[in-house]
Structures are given as structure tokens and as C-alpha cells.
Amino acid sequence: MDTTVDSDSIYRILGGVYISSARPLLEDIDLRAKYGIENIVSVQKEPIPEYYKDYNRLHVQIDDLASENLFLHFQKVNRFIDECLHGEKEGKVLIHCNAGRSRSVSFVVAYLMKRYHLNYKQALYAVQRKYPKEDKVGPNEGFTRQLQLYYECGCCDDVKELDAKYPQYRGFKMSLLQRSDVTSDAAYKDIKEVGEKEGGYVLRCKKCGQVLANSKAVIPHDPPSDEDDKQKYFYKTTFYSKEVVGVQKASSECTHFFVEPVNWMKPELGKGELEGRFDCFKCGSKIGGYRWQGSRCSCGRWMVPAIHLQKAKVDKVMNVR
């Protein structure tokens, strides 16, 4: 079975798809002569070595950081790989990063998910099985969450379509917000009643009836469904040893609406605090709060960041045309 070339640590994943670290390129390995590879996807900040200037190349300049947004690159990488493998000149493509362990693996996993309709675990296994058993490779924690979200969004790699159709993607983008960005008007949703179609809704302050958000700003989430998912339970621990002294199952009902920043929130979010409360800007009653570092819903689902309105403090009013 052609799984790897030990001398160069270049791994054949599936068909004409190969993964490696940057080492073979830094050593000027003749990929064309040795492996028949004429296409390179380089996933690193550093430029592709000049030795490969006559190869068909794509450079994706990202770091191996959880804060990087892979969705911005999925479409161009998927198209490049697909054209290399199935275009007029069917060939082979090498995807590499510095270590060949996280960034390159992430984009190959994304491609396999989209091309072969695999879920995240299936696609990751298709990559990992080609490496030596002792070599534990895989996307970093942030990339893992993005790839799982990618699957939840039907492997859609068009960012405009993602923005329009998938609220969970908008929620993910919120999680990448730097606190310095919350001073920008572009970071906030308008609270105008949408009424764009039957089924839309607004959230009104229960005390005074003021509109606080609409359905376009709400970030839906599903309670953890797997009984083995740790998010389905709340654990009580001792202060010093962190020994678990109690376990409580999460509620089957959610007690919060998690939302994107809405324009009336700007004065509070602009303070630069890590967490705080929201009061209705009309009547002053407490209606919610926020924690940029994230918090858990009553259902157990972890939300980052956690900008929320309490269901007990607002009324959900449907828009009917």
C-alpha cells in the first residue's frame, strides 16, 4: 500500500492528494520527477521556495492559530485541488504546511468532506490512517471546531451564502471578534422589525415592550444530544483540588437567546470589559448580559462569546404579514 515515502515524509492520502511538512520543499526535492507532483498548496506564512516557481502553486498565508478563519480559504483551496485532480490536466497535488500536522491536514480534511460527502471524523480518519500510528496528527482545537461547523453548514464554502443561510456561521464569526472591533458600527445589527417573511420574529422587553433584537440577530444552537457529551452535564468541583463532588444533568430547555451584537449594546460592549449586564435602554430593567470568554447555556451548550437575552425577560413575537 502506497502510504508514505519515508525518505521525504510525503504521505499519499487518496488518489493524487499528498501531504507533507515544509522539509521536502526546503531540501529542493524534485517533486515532479520523483512523484509526478506538479501542483502545490502551501499553507504557511513563509513564501514557497523559489525552486518551485515553475510549479502550479497556491499560497494560503495563515498561522497555526485557532483564531484563523479557515472559511475564508476553503473555496479557493477546494477549487484548486479539484482542478488539479480532475481538470483538463489530471495530476497530483501536494498540500503542505510547516510541520504537515495541522494546517495542511485541515484543508485536506475539508476537501474530502466536500468532495466525498464525509463527516469530520470520517475525513480525519482517511488522513490519519496514512501516517505512522505513533504520529498523532490532526487540526488544532480551533480548526477542529471550524471543520465540524463546516459539516453542519453542508460543507458550504461560499462565505456570502454562509452569511445569508447559516446563523451558526455568523455565531462563529462573532467568536473571532477582537474586543477592539466592537467600536465599529459594522459589528452591530439593527433592531428594526424585519417582517421579511412569515416565521420571522422580534424579541421585546417583557416590561415595556421595546424591541431589543430580531430573528436575524439570534444565533440558534442545539442542546447536546449525545449522552456521552460532557457538555450535557454540569460538574461541581472543590476549589483547590478540582475534585468532582457532584454532577447535574443539563436542562432540556434553553433559558437564553444568544445574539449577535445589536446597535443599542454598543455603549456597554464598548467599555472593554470581559463581561457585564444589559439593561433595557428604554425602561432600564435587566434583560441579559455578556461574557466575551464564553459561558454555558442551561442546556449545557458552550457559547463563545456569550451575548444573550434572558428568555424570562423578553417576549418572542412572531412577524405575520
Q: Would you write out the chain's pLDDT as a tens digit for each of its 321 residues?
A: 344 444 578 999 999 999 999 999 999 999 999 999 999 999 999 999 999 999 999 999 999 998 899 999 999 999 999 999 998 888 999 999 999 999 999 999 999 999 999 999 999 999 999 998 778 899 999 999 999 999 999 999 999 999 888 878 887 887 776 544 666 666 677 877 554 555 689 999 999 999 999 988 898 888 887 665 667 776 676 666 567 666 778 788 899 999 989 999 999 988 878 889 999 999 999 999 998 878 889 998 888 789 999 999 999 998 755
**SS3 call for 263:** helix
Look up 299 and say whether it is catalytic: no
User: Phi and psi at residue 162, in whole multiples of 5°?
Assistant: -60, -45
Using CA atoms of 33, 35, 40, 46 in order, give the dihedral in degrees to the nearest 10.
-80
Domain ranges of the chain: 4-165, 176-318
Contact 274, 292 (CB under 8 A): yes
> Rounded distance, CA 155 to CA 82, Å?
15
Contact 25, 35 (CB under 8 A): no
Contact 124, 106 (CB under 8 A): no
Please, what CATH class does the domain formed by 4-165 belong to? alpha beta
> Rounded distance, CA 151 to CA 119, Å?
6
> Rounded distance, CA 93 to CA 113, Å?
17
> Rounded distance, CA 29 to CA 27, Å?
6
Kindly name the residue from 97, 155, 156, 297 that is annotated as catalytic: 97
In this prediction, residue 203 carries a pLDDT of 95
In this prediction, residue 134 carries a pLDDT of 77
Residues 6+ apart with CB under 8 A from 79: none
> Rounded distance, CA 98 to CA 95, Å?
11
In this prediction, residue 1 carries a pLDDT of 36
**SS3 call for 132:** coil
Taken in order 46, 47, 52, 57, the sign of the CA dihedral is: positive
Question: What's the grid cell of residue 188?
Answer: 452591530
Alpha helices in 95-153 (DSSP H): 103-116, 120-128, 141-152
